[in-house]
């Protein structure tokens, strides 16, 4: 591979094991393997120099041998990076070093468990990142702001995690809250290698609709998304 400066590289992690939903990355969703939704979105976005699928699953490897996916580079993940306890940073760090991805390039992490995140969302997120001047981008979705009323009890005293004042406000008066939806993460390689972590302080957000932010963790999630697609 020849890397130019400021190029975007997509990394799609697809470990074979999964406790919440066994073999979920290759499980047929509305007649198509789950992982293909993300691969096809990455290809169709036309923003990546390279799309790398990191997997230890031979069924996925065989699936991507099809000429339709010849532009996708399949990296066979080592056994030591395919366990339940493997951190995603370890996988990305391994790929950066193995393929000598230049520090000036950008990694876009696209997890297969977000099949409703389409190519348009990827393009918009990268555009937002380019214009932000930030070091990283994480896609988020608005969540129930009642979480601000969450509290601790210490010595039988109610203590608001954010503030006691918010405990008694109406929901409509509370500020909006958001959470990462797992769909899109963008980082410059040099920052990942310097901080050795995904949690960068200077990070911007890309807000996605709830309907496109559904993430598959178990069979209930899977069936819900299949119903939407069908």
Kindly state the tokens that stand for 107. 């990694």
Q: How many residues are given for the chain?
A: 230
**Could you identify the residue written with the tokens 């969703």?**
29
Model confidence, pTM: 0.89
Sites in the chain below the pLDDT cut of 50: none
pLDDT at 195: 84
pLDDT at 79: 86
CB-CB contact of 183 with 124 (8 Å): no
Residue 146, classed as helix, strand or coil, is: helix
pLDDT at 83: 82
Backbone angles phi, psi at 220, to 5 degrees: -65, -45
8-142+178-229: what fold? Spore Coat Polysaccharide Biosynthesis Protein SpsA; Chain A (3.90.550)
pLDDT at 163: 72
pLDDT at 194: 87
CB-CB contact of 3 with 49 (8 Å): yes
Domain residue limits, the chain: 8-142+178-229
Kindly state the tokens that stand for 219. 């069979």
Question: At a CB cut-off of 8 Å and minimum separation 6, what does 20 contact?
Answer: 217, 218
Question: At a CB cut-off of 8 Å and minimum separation 6, what does 148 contact?
Answer: 162, 166, 174, 175, 177
pLDDT at 124: 96
pLDDT at 3: 64
pLDDT at 40: 95
pLDDT at 98: 92
Report residue 205 CA to chain centroid gap. Answer: 13
């Amino acid at each position: 591979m020849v890397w130019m400066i400021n190029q975007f590289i997509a990394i799609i992690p697809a470990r074979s094991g999964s406790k919440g939903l066994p073999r979920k990355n290759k499980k047929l969703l509305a007649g198509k393997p789950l992982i293909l939704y993300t691969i096809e979105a990455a290809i169709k976005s036309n923003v990546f120099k390279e799309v790398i699928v990191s997997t230890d699953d031979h069924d996925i490897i065989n699936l991507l041998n099809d000429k339709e996916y010849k532009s996708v580079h399949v990296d066979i993940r080592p056994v030591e990076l395919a366990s339940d306890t493997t951190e995603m940073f370890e996988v990305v760090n391994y790929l950066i070093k193995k393929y000598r991805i230049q520090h000036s390039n950008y990694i876009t992490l696209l997890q297969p468990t977000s099949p409703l995140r389409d190519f348009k969302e990827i393009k918009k997120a990268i555009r937002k990142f380019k214009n932000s001047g930030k070091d990283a981008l994480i896609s988020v979705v608005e969540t129930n702001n009642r979480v601000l009323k969450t509290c601790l009890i210490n010595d039988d005293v109610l203590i608001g995690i954010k503030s006691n004042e918010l405990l008694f406000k109406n929901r409509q008066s509370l500020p909006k809250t958001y959470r990462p939806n797992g769909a899109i993460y963008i980082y410059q390689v040099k920052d990942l290698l310097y901080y050795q972590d995904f949690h960068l302080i200077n990070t911007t957000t890309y807000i996605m609709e709830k309907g496109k932010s559904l993430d598959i963790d178990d069979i209930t999630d899977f069936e819900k998304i299949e119903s939407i697609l069908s």
